[in-house]
């Protein structure tokens, strides 16, 4: 049973049973954690994967994650600073990343992908504690409270991985703290994220308490490093759950961040996750994986995964470039001639920020050429356009409507960690799916074993 078959059978079942979008959205809006941040914008059904599809996707994502973390050794002789500069890190970002560096780097990642006619294709890799969508299991539990969805899931052996539980387990594993020790965990956000996520984090903290963390929400500036540890409101902190990000460092005072990182370097507090992990999410790092000149560095399994899910990605530099078929072309000339098939992306931003599509309305050849020229020599990449196949979603009156869905596939400590989705109704000119343009969020169910069992979390 695969994605296409499961989807077709689910749509036929809800059509037969008269299930509308309002029926499924109602059970999602009863979830406090979701409503605190999502404000009622949800996909009106889960997406589906067969077990072989899920396992292959996980293997591909994990192969790319480990290949990314190997790049300093494979390309820079182990020099992380040289790697950081090459992928577009500023001096401030480099200093902070090196101050908090940990080997091995963290094992929490979410790959964002489109599903096109040939399979999954990567848009970007998100790494570390700032990764969103950890609450996706709540979507699954809510949807499975609907009797029609629950019955369909039971019939086909569909279940889900509990990403939040896996994340908490990884906090214990990566900090070395003993499960059951109930460590004081400061969920410390930079000012930008605190303004955005504060209410959500305060609802999240009690959930983490149920999973074994004594979690307290704060801004990073509230932490007080001392000679014998890091303190928050008179309590010694065991773990700083880092929500101060490389992207946001210009907005965060070094006087607030650096003492915490220095305390972690001295072993006085654990930081989850280390800042250096975010360097590997740079799109320039993806260009290093995609570059034909580097293929000899990777194993057969890594190359198979790179070829399967990573679109052609190149640094914006003048001169010749290798194409997918092994031929060469001048990058600038090729990019101008194939503007409708290429997207320009900044290296260190995520969530669709700063991207320019060569096919967008009103984009003249002159403007596209100017955008390329401005990016040339800076940390930008060109990436092959991915054309997602629309997913049919139930509408308000039982009709089906095409949506464009971005899939998020988690890997946590080397294991499949769940599925998280964002989507919008398909329309001309829809190039980026994110919250800024009104995206809805959801999750996915995958076949876990033999059909006929009860739907359950699992990996």
Cis previous bond, 273, omega within 30: yes
pLDDT value at residue 449 = 63
Q: Is the pLDDT of residue 275 over 60?
A: yes
Helix/strand/coil (H/E/C) assignment for every residue in 279-309: HHHCHHHHHHHHCHHHHHHCCHHHHHHHHHH
Contact 334, 311 (CB under 8 A): no
Spatial distance between the Cα atoms of 416 and 325, rounded to a whole number of angstroms: 32
Spatial distance between the Cα atoms of 133 and 143, rounded to a whole number of angstroms: 16
pLDDT one-digit tens code per residue, 308-329: 999 999 999 999 999 999 999 9
Q: Is the pLDDT of residue 458 over 60?
A: no
pLDDT value at residue 450 = 45
Q: Is the pLDDT of residue 94 over 70?
A: yes
pLDDT one-digit tens code per residue, 11-67: 999 999 999 998 888 888 777 676 666 666 899 999 999 999 999 999 999 999 999
pLDDT mean over 70-99: 92
Q: Is the pLDDT of residue 455 over 70?
A: no
pLDDT one-digit tens code per residue, 353-409: 789 999 988 899 999 999 999 999 899 999 999 999 999 999 988 799 999 999 999
pLDDT value at residue 252 = 76
Left (φ > 0), alpha (ψ -120 to 50) or beta: where does 115 sit? beta
pLDDT mean over 249-269: 87
Contact 146, 176 (CB under 8 A): no
Q: Which of 78-92, 99-113, 173-187, 414-428 has the lowest mean pLDDT?
A: 99-113
pLDDT mean over 158-186: 95
Spatial distance between the Cα atoms of 307 and 314, rounded to a whole number of angstroms: 14
Output Rg (C-alpha) for the chain, integer angstroms. Answer: 22
Domains and CATH numbers, the chain: 3-167+389-447 (no CATH), 312-384 (3.30.1490)
pLDDT value at residue 32 = 62
Distances (CA, A) of 332 to 89, 160, 233: 24, 45, 56
Mean pLDDT (the chain, rounded): 90
Q: Which of 129-133, 321-325, 354-358, 426-430 has the lowest mean pLDDT?
A: 426-430
What percent of the chain clears pLDDT 70, i.e. is strictly above it? 94
pLDDT one-digit tens code per residue, 281-293: 999 999 999 999 9
């Amino acid at each position: 049973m695969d994605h296409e078959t499961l989807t077709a059978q689910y749509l036929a079942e809800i059509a037969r049973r008269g299930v509308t979008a309002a029926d499924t959205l109602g059970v999602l809006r009863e979830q406090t954690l979701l409503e605190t941040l999502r404000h009622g914008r949800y996909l009106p059904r889960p997406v589906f994967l067969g077990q072989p599809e899920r396992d292959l996707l996980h293997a591909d994502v994990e192969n790319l994650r480990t290949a990314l973390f190997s790049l300093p050794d494979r390309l820079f002789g182990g020099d992380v600073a040289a790697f950081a500069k090459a992928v577009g890190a500023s001096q401030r970002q480099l200093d902070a990343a090196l101050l908090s560096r940990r080997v091995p780097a963290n094992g929490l990642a979410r790959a964002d992908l489109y599903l096109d006619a040939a399979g999954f294709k990567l848009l970007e890799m998100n790494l570390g504690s700032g990764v969103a969508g950890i609450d996706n299991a709540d979507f699954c539990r809510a949807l499975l409270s609907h009797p029609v969805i629950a019955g369909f899931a039971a019939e086909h052996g569909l279940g889900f991985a509990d990403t939040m539980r896996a994340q908490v387990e990884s906090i214990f594993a990566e900090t070395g703290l003993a499960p059951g020790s109930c460590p004081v965990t400061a969920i410390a956000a930079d000012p930008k994220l605190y303004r955005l996520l504060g209410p959500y984090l305060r609802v999240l903290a009690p959930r983490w308490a149920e999973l074994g963390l004594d979690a307290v929400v704060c801004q990073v500036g509230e932490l007080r490093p001392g000679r014998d540890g890091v303190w928050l409101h008179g309590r010694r902190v065991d773990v700083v759950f880092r929500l101060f990000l490389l992207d946001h460092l210009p907005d965060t005072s070094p006087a607030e961040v650096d003492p915490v990182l220095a305390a972690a370097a001295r072993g006085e507090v654990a930081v989850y996750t280390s800042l250096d992990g975010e360097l590997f999410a740079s799109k320039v790092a993806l260009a290093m994986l995609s570059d034909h000149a580097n293929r000899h560095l990777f194993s057969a399994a890594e190359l198979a995964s790179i070829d399967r899910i990573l679109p052609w990605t190149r640094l914006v530099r003048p001169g010749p470039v290798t194409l997918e078929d092994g031929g060469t072309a001048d990058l600038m000339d090729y990019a101008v001639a194939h503007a409708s098939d290429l997207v320009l992306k900044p290296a260190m931003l995520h969530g669709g920020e700063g991207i320019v599509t060569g096919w967008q309305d009103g984009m003249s050849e002159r403007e596209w050429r100017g955008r390329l020229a401005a990016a040339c020599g800076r940390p930008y990449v060109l990436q092959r356009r991915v054309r997602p196949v629309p997913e049919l979603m139930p509408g308000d009156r039982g009709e089906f409507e095409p949506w464009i869905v971005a899939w998020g596939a988690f890997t946590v400590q080397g294991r499949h960690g769940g599925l998280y989705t964002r989507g919008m109704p398909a329309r001309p000119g829809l190039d980026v799916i994110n919250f800024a343009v009104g995206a809805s969020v959801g999750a996915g169910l995958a076949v876990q074993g033999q059909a006929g069992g009860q739907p359950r979390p699992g990996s």
